[in-house]
Homo-oligomer: A and B are copies of this chain.
Amino acid sequence: MAKKPHPAPGQGETVRREIVEAANRLFYHRGYNQTSFTDIAEAAGIPRGNFYYYFRSKDDILGAVIDARIERIRAMLAEWDAAEPDPRLRLKRFAQMIRGSEKDLLRYGCPMGSLNIELGKAQPALKARAKKMFDLFIDWLARQLAALGQADASRLALQAMGRVQGVAVMTQVYGDREFMRAQLAEFDAWIESLPAQGPAK
């Protein structure tokens, strides 16, 4: 349920959400440090000074944005888990989700990767919060790989995420959608190549 914001939940709750939503988009499209309060205010349709009723600082907004992203990721992973019992097919959904973001990836890169890279350079406190988005995926990937009987599932999960991140970087740098598609096809092939031997069951 996340930490409670200082405005009492009730009236301003929808305004707060709109601010977070606008900030979320802008942080992704321009980067955190390159997004100003003015930008967010315009996008959210509220006056500039009105911010500090909902958030006490810019970092605070980023925190809310990260929390919102985390909630969304959590919900998505839970949905995959609920809808699909086969870990291999779950992994394929992961690849499919990336395909669905093709357009954004070409323009803005990976929202998790680019944010972590930006914050990792000189804002370690914020970067630590942003890392949690990765943790969710890594843990989930490791669970699926473990369910497929992979021994070093955690390391393999890191490796798989690294592969995806590499594709995201090259995709943004070269704007090459064909490359991206080919790489994701190889990723699918890798998933299929994993031996099917669940441990318990």
Interface of A is mostly: helix
Q: Is A72 an interface residue (CB 8 A)?
A: no
Copies in the complex: 2
Q: Is A114 an interface residue (CB 8 A)?
A: yes
Binary B-proximity of A169-197 (CB < 8 A = 1, otherwise 0): 11011101001001100000000000000
Interface segment, one of A44-52, A91-99, A156-164? A156-164
What is the bound-complex CA distance between A2 and B41, given in angstroms? 43
What is the bound-complex CA distance between A117 and B134, given in angstroms? 18
> Does A158 contact B174, Cβ atoms closer than 8 Å?
yes
Binary B-proximity of A22-59 (CB < 8 A = 1, otherwise 0): 00000001110110000000000000000000000000
> Does A30 contact B172, Cβ atoms closer than 8 Å?
no
> Does B116 contact A121, Cβ atoms closer than 8 Å?
no
> Does B117 contact A169, Cβ atoms closer than 8 Å?
yes
Q: Assuming A155-B182, A183-B162, is B33 touching A173 (CB within 8 A)?
A: no
> Does B161 contact A122, Cβ atoms closer than 8 Å?
no
Binary B-proximity of A12-25 (CB < 8 A = 1, otherwise 0): 00000000000000
Chain B residues near A174 (CB-CB < 8 A): 131, 134, 158
Q: Assuming A109-B120, A117-B172, is B163 touching A163 (CB within 8 A)?
A: yes
A159 to chain B minimum Cβ distance, whole angstroms, is 7
Q: Is A167 an interface residue (CB 8 A)?
A: yes
What is the bound-complex CA distance between A179 and B152, given in angstroms? 12
Residue of B107, B158, B173 near A170 (CB, 8 A) is B158
Could you write out 7 A-B pairs with CB less than 8 Å apart?
Answer: A30-B122, A33-B33, A108-B120, A113-B169, A113-B173, A117-B173, A163-B166
Q: Tell me the A residues contacting B by CB distance below 8 Å.
A: 29-31, 33-34, 107-109, 113-114, 116-118, 120-122, 131, 134, 155, 158-159, 161-167, 169-170, 172-174, 176, 179, 182-183
